[in-house]
Structure 1
Amino acid sequence: MPAVSTPSGRCGADRCPGALRAHQAADGLLVRVRLPGGRLSTSQLRRLAAAARRDADGTLELTSRANVQLRGIGDQEAVDRIAAVLVESGLLPSASHETVRNILASPLSGLDHGGRPDVRPVVARVDEALCACPELADLSGRFLVAVDDGRGDVAALGADLCWLADTGALLVAGRDVGLRADTDQVAATIVAAARAFLRLRAGRRDVWRVADLPEASAAIVAALGGPHAEPTDPPQSDPPPVGPHPAGIVVVAAPLGRLTAAQADTLAALTDEPVVVTPWRTVVVVAAPETAVPALTGAGLVVDAASPWVGVTACAGRPGCASALADVRADATAALTAAAPPAAAALPLHWAGCDRCCGRPAGPAALAVATGAGYRVAGPGGDHHGPLAERVAQARRPR
């Protein structure tokens, strides 16, 4: 069982928060819990909700990497209590590697009976292999691995390393560079590629991701003895839409990516199967009963794909972040309430308290960025002007 003391010195200037290495925000300490493949058992979800009630602000923040954050934590003793809960519930298998267990996976893999490979066992093997390699503890908390079952949903998210189950391609910084790996080779191949990146970035503590080094892709290909095949364009697809799906699956959106502890308990009460947190800040409920949709709606969660809340995210804003220039969550709520429902193909919309745009989703998105004198609202065609709610609606219209 891993210790629950905070690691020190391992990641240099990398300040990406973890479950043990808390970040000091304006509203208290913040911890980030890595969920490889986004999977949470209902027991784990209940325990996280209880920890959020007791030691944080009572909410679970869903991140763009399918992880969970607890914020508003009062002191280090509370951080240690949360860490102990994570250890006991199996969410912290490695103290040394806990910040580098960033592994995305196609959320519906093995669940929607779509005829694609089930990559959940692959995710487990990759996680185990990462944690078993001492050298990889020196990866930054920003380094991202993805396992895509071939539908192209997480392949489109710009992971440092992404394996595609249908072709065996290992994408490097989002590009097919000709590397291939069979299912039983994936974990070892990803470890070898990550080690090659670490060797290249040795001594460069301001380099966190493969795309930061132009020469990294070629070095990884050489280290793996490639290329093994002619590169092709990787597939890309949209995320699973919010709402009911066949086979008893319901994809649920949490307004602004925040689950209250009570909402988390509602999710856990609907199924005995693990839920899946997605990179789009939604949650997949598996084996849901017929009563699931009214129960979720009654809890304030979103199960209607036409809801104006679908695809809308926000950073912490004021008062949680000292850098924020506005209470973006309150402003987003007011604007969404005033605006007409978006078009069916509306772009994702991210509200940010400053120009850093923390938490911005990957891919095309509309942005509402606080300036201190209102918001700059931008879409694919540039900035928009007029009343805020109208600008936001215009920015979400795809060109």
Structure 2
Amino acid sequence: MLGCMVKEQVVGPPHPPEGDACPGALRLHAADDGALARVRVPGGFVGAAQAAALGAAAQALGDGELHLTSRGNVQLRGLAPTCAAELERRLAAADLLPSRTHERVRNVVASPLTGLDGNGYADVRPWLRELDTLLCASKEAAALSGRFLFALDDGRGDVAALAPDITLRAIPDGGALLVLGRRAPLRISAAQAAPAALLAAETFLRAAAPTAAWRVKDLPDAGAALSTDLAHRLNAPTTEPPSQTAPPPPPGPIPTGPTTALCVLAPLGRLTPAQWHALTSLAERTPARELRLTPWRGVIVPSVPADRARAELAALAATGLATAADSPWLGVTACTGRPGCAKSHADVRADARATLPVAPAAPVTRAAPAGPATALLPVHWSGCARGCGRPRGGERVDVVAEPGGYRVDLVRQGRVHGSVRSGGPELAATVAAARRGALNG
């Protein structure tokens, strides 16, 4: 749906920053289950025809499944190393590869309900289009790491909470806030938003050059001098950070005026060919003709006629997608694990499935935090200590595979507040206790 306006002719894939091994659509990663390609989808907005092309490529060249990332991008797995040229051809034909030199740096998340439910202060899609175009036109920006993240928040505070490097956030008066890492926001006009975000990225690259930092938080001062420099160059005053935050869109129907948006979750971020086909086919029958991939491994189908919403949601549920706000899959994520990753100590996806539905909590040594009895902390299963795909910020449970078992960590504000080692029959109860805010140990 969205694409850069600049079409560049470059022979061979671009060289990434030294040491940056993030895969892309051109730079495939060798995994135990075959090659892996990561296709950037800025903002998570993908047209129905583009989605169909992704599904066809996955089935023709890979294992047939599509894997959603924590940045709303798509991964194809099980690819033959010799398929790179054919994959490039397919992606370019679908306008999913508008810039060969910048395809790995188009890491942009956006509020997935922006312009739909009326809860944001602005529709950030114009920012998204402009920023993507500016990024691809900037020769300097091609040097950004594949890990560098932009977030466009419509004011509700959903994607601003994902620890981005550069955040644009809409505010009630029609302006915007520019935030570098965790520094104080800079107040700018809406017209400045996308150009200011690009300027921030280019300025970061100059500041990072002597340090080899890949992200703002990696700078020696965590971006303090960078933020001060931008405030001067943009004539932008600093202001207090907004306190408003919003949870991810819940699975189920979301009223959007005369139509309905349907939100579903892909269990563990993996979509089977049947599930992807069901979503793509539904999108093709709506006026918007698009899917919105969320950073929480969900998919939103906008503009579904209200009188068809219940039947369409039931059809999606029949494929195994999570379609209800009380689904046991809510808040459960995992890395690839075995057999796809040689570094993994366990088949974490199978073990995560084995803990659902959530077992009764084990005896705890302290009371769980106050709140609804059904509220559970998100949990991420990792096959090793690297924690690929692990959520950032907030409270969560990390379940990390180790030789001989798992370590279950209760994380608050980036710090471990409780940790136990568990395995076998006790694992499900231990994870359930941690998700309720307590650990027996």
Identity %: 47
What SS does structure 2 have at the residue aligned with 1:336?
coil
1:314 aligns with 2:334: yes
Residue by residue, what CA displacement relative to the aligned partner does 1:120-161 show, whole Å, maximum 9, x if unpaired?
A: 111110110111110110010011111110000011111111
Aligned counterpart, 1:211: 217
What SS does structure 2 have at the residue aligned with 1:196?
helix
Aligned counterpart, 1:258: 270
TM-score between the two structures when normalised by the length of structure 1? 0.94
Give the deviation of 1:337 after TM superposition. 4.3
Q: In 2, are the aligned partners of 1:192 and 1:224 still within 8 Å (CA)? A: no
1:390 aligned to 418, 429, 434, which one?
429
The change in CA–CA distance for 1:384 and 1:394 in structure 2 (over 3 A counts) is farther
Aligned counterpart, 2:366: none
Which has the higher mean CA deviation after the structures are superposed, 287-296 or 146-155?
A: 287-296
Give the deviation of 1:297 after TM superposition. 0.7
1:23 aligns with 2:29: yes
2:391 aligned to 361, 367, 374, which one?
361
RMSD after superposition: 2.0
Aligned counterpart, 2:403: 372
1:277 aligns with 2:307: no
Give the deviation of 1:339 after TM superposition. 2.6
Q: In 2, are the aligned partners of 1:168 and 1:183 still within 8 Å (CA)? A: yes
Letter in 1 for 2:432: A
Q: d(CA) in 2 for partners of 1:267 and 1:297?
A: 11
Aligned counterpart, 1:339: 359
Aligned counterpart, 2:368: none
Aligned counterpart, 2:49: 43
Which has the higher mean CA deviation after the structures are superposed, 233-242 or 34-43?
A: 233-242
Give the deviation of 1:193 after TM superposition. 0.9
Letter in 2 for 1:187: A
The change in CA–CA distance for 1:174 and 1:219 in structure 2 (over 3 A counts) is closer
Q: In 1, are the aligned partners of 2:231 and 2:237 still within 8 Å (CA)? A: no
Q: Which 5+ residue runs of structure 1 have no aligned equivalent?
A: none
Which has the higher mean CA deviation after the structures are superposed, 104-113 or 166-175?
A: 166-175
Residue by residue, what CA displacement relative to the aligned partner does 1:57-96 show, whole Å, maximum 9, x if unpaired?
A: 1111111111111111111x31221221111111111100
Aligned counterpart, 2:414: none
Aligned counterpart, 2:179: 171
Residue by residue, what CA displacement relative to the aligned partner does 1:219-274 show, whole Å, maximum 9, x if unpaired?
A: 24314416733421233221111211112111100010111121111001113321
Q: Which 5+ residue runs of structure 2 have no aligned equivalent?
A: 1-6, 362-371, 412-416
Q: d(CA) in 2 for partners of 1:384 and 1:372?
A: 14
What SS does structure 2 have at the residue aligned with 1:295?
helix
Letter in 1 for 2:142: A
Q: d(CA) in 1 for partners of 2:230 and 2:15?
A: 28
Q: In 2, are the aligned partners of 1:157 and 1:174 still within 8 Å (CA)? A: no
What SS does structure 2 have at the residue aligned with 1:176?
coil
Q: In 2, are the aligned partners of 1:276 and 1:283 still within 8 Å (CA)? A: yes
TM-score between the two structures when normalised by the length of structure 2? 0.85
Q: d(CA) in 1 for partners of 2:373 and 2:145?
A: 39
